[in-house]
Each structure stands twice: as C-alpha cells, then as structure tokens.
C-alpha cells in the first residue's frame, strides 16, 4: 500500500515539462567577446500540446527567441537567449521568466557569468 501511494504521489508531482537545465553559466568572458548566446531545451512530457506564452527577460540586455507554435506531446522546443555583454565588468545573473500552458507558476531560467577585461 505504501508503495502504491509513493508511486501515485510521484506521478502527481511530476512536472508536465522538463528543461535540460535552468541555469546557463557562461563562466569568465571578456568585454571584447561580444554577444553571448545559449539555449534551453524544453521537453513536453504532458499528454497535450504545450504553448509557451511568453519568455520575459529581467532586463533589456537579453534578447529571447522561443517557439511560437505549440510543442506536441513528447516533442522538444528550444529557447534561445542572447546576452548583450555590454554592461562592463563584473558578475551578472539575469533571469528569463517562462510562462506556459502546462503550469500556473512560471519557470525561472538563469544566465550568469563574470565579465572581465581580459578573460582567460
């Protein structure tokens, strides 16, 4: 009985979408390196198509492209984020707030790194 309850709880708590990562660390980058781009892959684990309504960056220094068409059950989509790298030196941690049809609470993705004058 305990095993059945554990399995039912695990199924109930399973997220209908999965991201390959929620944090992308650019590491140490140079101010001269220009724009930095990364991707986040989302998998639709639900039984219904997944719509990404919006992906909202935390500031104007990040551009985002996401699938405008619904992602079929079992299929994948890619969110591409480009950090402008024009804010000078120091550490950064930018967020992307992802609103989907799969859940009421948005998913928060992070872009982070350290910008130096002369990266290694």
Per-residue pLDDT reduced to its tens digit, 76-116: 999 999 999 999 999 999 999 999 999 999 999 999 999 99
Residue ranges per structural domain of the chain: 16-116
Question: Burial level of 95, CB count in 10 A (0-12/13-18/19+)?
Answer: middle
H/E run at residue 27 = strand 23-30
Contact 66, 53 (CB under 8 A): no
Write phi, then psi, for 9 (nearest 5 degrees).
-65, -40
**Pairing state between β 52-57 and 90-100:** antiparallel
- Per residue in 17-76, pLDDT tens? 999 999 999 999 999 999 999 999 999 999 999 999 999 999 999 999 999 999 999 999
Give me the CATH topology for the region 16-116. Immunoglobulin-like (2.60.40)
Q: Are strands 107-116 and 90-100 parallel, antiparallel or unpaired?
A: antiparallel
pTM reported for the whole predicted model: 0.85
């Amino acid at each position: 009985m305990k095993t059945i309850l554990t399995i039912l709880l695990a199924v109930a708590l399973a997220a209908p979408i999965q991201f390959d990562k929620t944090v992308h660390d650019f590491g140490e980058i140079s101010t001269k390196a220009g724009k930095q781009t990364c991707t986040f892959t989302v998998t639709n684990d639900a039984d219904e198509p997944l719509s990404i309504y919006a992906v909202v960056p935390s500031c104007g220094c990040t551009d985002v492209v996401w699938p405008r068409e619904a992602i079929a059950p079992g299929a994948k989509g890619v969110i591409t984020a480009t950090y402008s790298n024009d804010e000078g030196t120091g550490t950064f941690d930018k967020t992307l707030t992802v609103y989907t049809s799969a859940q009421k609470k948005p998913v928060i993705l992070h872009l982070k790194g350290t910008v130096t004058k002369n990266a290694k």
